[in-house]
Amino acid sequence: MNTHTHRAEDAPHYMPLTVEHSFRKLPRPCSIDGQLRTRYLAPTVTEYLDVETGEIVPASLVRKRGDVTEIRLGESVLLREVALASLRPEVRRFAEFVLKFRNRRRGITPGIDTLVQWYGQYTGARADNVRRYVPRLFDAGVLVGESVVGPLFQYAGKGVAASSHAGEDERAKLIFADLMLETSAGKSATSVPEWLQARTDAQQVVRRALARLAERRERRSYA
């Protein structure tokens, strides 16, 4: 009986075996645990296990062969925060709005011109004022093209069906509609009911009338 089992095509050839931590420099200072830092302690794989042969292989050799691609998710999160932290608060809010509309083709749907208009509707800001934020997004690497986000903020598009691409416009409209509904709900929750506003206005009228009456009486007492 043949007891040999074949490795599945998508099964990993190497597994991390030994991990060490070392400091890596950040491109710009970033707040970590409430402190401004220029580097952080990052895990690094130094040895891999060949799952077929049981051989322990140095990470440098595995990387040299191109058999493993290292993705530092924690570092990517930090670098994204560094990029966003470089923006003024109002520009950062716009950047976060834009990033809600990322697609699976390393870009945004719709393009930045439409998102400028939508953000104006969402916040009540003038579109020409919002448009002034766009160059800052390019400076921070959030955008690298009119409809392309920077590498740090991209979604990979592999394995995404063409039908998904075709539905990006509708998906974007749904996201925007949800945001507008949230805004409307927030305004409704904080607005004063009409009956209460009417009563408040009436009370103010009465207070002003009483104040004028008291003022006239005071003048007569001195006459």
Long-range contacts of 205-209 (CB under 8 A, 24+ apart): none
Amino acid letter at 51? V
Q: In what order do the strands lie in the sheet with 35-50?
A: 14-32, 35-50, 56-58
What's the predicted TM-score (pTM) here? Answer: 0.59
pLDDT digits (tens, 9 = 90+) for 30-44: 766 677 778 877 778
Closest CA to 95 of 137, 135, 139: 137
Please give the mean pLDDT across all residues of the chain: 77
pLDDT over 70 (residue 70): no
Q: Is residue 58 within 8 Å of 47, Cβ to Cβ?
A: yes
Q: Is residue 51 within 8 Å of 7, Cβ to Cβ?
A: yes
**How far is CA 175 from its chain centroid?**
14
The label of the residue with tokens 């998102």 reads: 115
pLDDT band with cut points at 50, 70 and 90 for residue 167: confident
Buried b or exposed e, range 113-132, using 16+ CB within 10 angstroms: ebbbebbbebeeeeeeebee
Q: How many C-beta atoms surround the C-beta of residue 90 within 10 A?
A: 14
